[in-house]
Amino acid sequence: MSVFYADSTFDQYTANPFNANKPYDHSWVLFRLIEKAEDFQYLTTGGNDQVFRCIMTKAQKDWKYRINDFLQYEATYQKNIILAVNKDDIEIAKTEYCGHRYNDPFLRDYEQKVLVHTTTKENHVKIVSSGALKCWKVLKAEHADWEDKPIGSGMGDPIYYSNYVMFGTGGFYQEIITLSKQKGRNDMNVDGVYVAGARFYLNAESIANDGLLIRDGIHLKVEGQLPLDPYLFWTATPEVLGIPERTTPRNFADVSDHFFFETFKIPLEETCY
C-alpha cells in the first residue's frame, strides 16, 4: 500500500501514470478534491474499466475529515491511493483531523444523530423477521440463492463494500438503490414510479458509541450486520404513512423524513446530490 500525490487537476482515470501508464487494477483508488461543481458535492464513479474514485468539492462541509477517513479506511484494505489534492489543502485537512480516526467511537460535532437505511418491500419482511440489517456478504452466505451481485457493483463499487451495511442521513438518494433493484439496472430518476419498501431510522450516536460506525470518506456504514434492537427509532412504510406503495423515490423519502422529524424532533440532512 502506498499513497501517490497529484494536484486537483488530475484526470487520468484509465491509464495509470504511477504504474507506467498501464490500466488500473482493483488495487488502486483515487480521491480528488475540487473547488466546486454545478450539480454535486461529491460523487463516486469508475471501478470497472477505470479507477474507482471519489470526486469531492469544497461545498461538502466536512471535506477535511473525509479526505483522511478515505485514506485510513482504504489503507485497511492495502490499497494504492492516489490523492489528487493540492498541497495546501492536504495540510489544512491534516490539522483539522488531528486526533481522529475513521472509526471514532463517538459522533463528531458535525455528524447528525440519525442514520437511514432503505430496502425493498420484500426484504423489509425478512429484516424484521431476522431482527437485523445484514450486508450482502452475510446474506449471500446465509442464502445461496441471494442476488448474484450487490447492487453497488453495477455502479463500480469495490467488492469489499459488500461487507458493510450502508446508511444515508436523510433525503431521496438511498431510494435510488431500491428503484434500481426493481428496474434491474442503474436508474437515477427520483421521480420515476416504483414500489416503495421501508426506511429504517436508527440512532447514530448509540451506533458510534458502541464502536460500530465506520467512515470510509464517502459513506457511513457498519461491518457485517446491525441488530435493530437497541438502535432502531422507527420504520417508515407506505402503510404506516398512509400513502400508496406505488409512488416515487422523492415522494416516499420526503414524506418519511417529514413524518420522522415531526414525531422525534431530530433533524435530518437533505439530499445534496
Collapse the DSSP code of 124 into the 3-class scheme (helix H, G, I; strand E, B; otherwise coil) and give the result: helix
Q: Which three cell numbers stand for residue 121?
A: 418491500
pLDDT digits (tens, 9 = 90+) for 147-184: 888 877 777 789 999 999 999 999 998 898 899 888 87
Rounded Cα gap, residues 124 and 102, in angstroms:
30
Q: Output the pTM of the full model.
A: 0.93
At 149 the pLDDT is 83
In this predicted model, what pLDDT tens digit does every residue of 50-86 receive, in sequence order?
Answer: 999 999 999 999 999 999 999 999 999 999 999 999 9
- pLDDT at residue 177 in the model: 86
**Percent over 90 (pLDDT), the chain:** 82
CA pair distance 228, 232, nearest whole angstrom: 5
Residues of the chain with pLDDT under 70: 270-273
Tell me the one-letter amino acid at 226: L
Closest by CA to 231, choosing from 201, 253, 258, 191, is 201
**In this predicted structure, what is the pLDDT of residue 92?**
98
Instruction: Look at residue 238 in the predicted model and tell me its pLDDT.
Output: 98
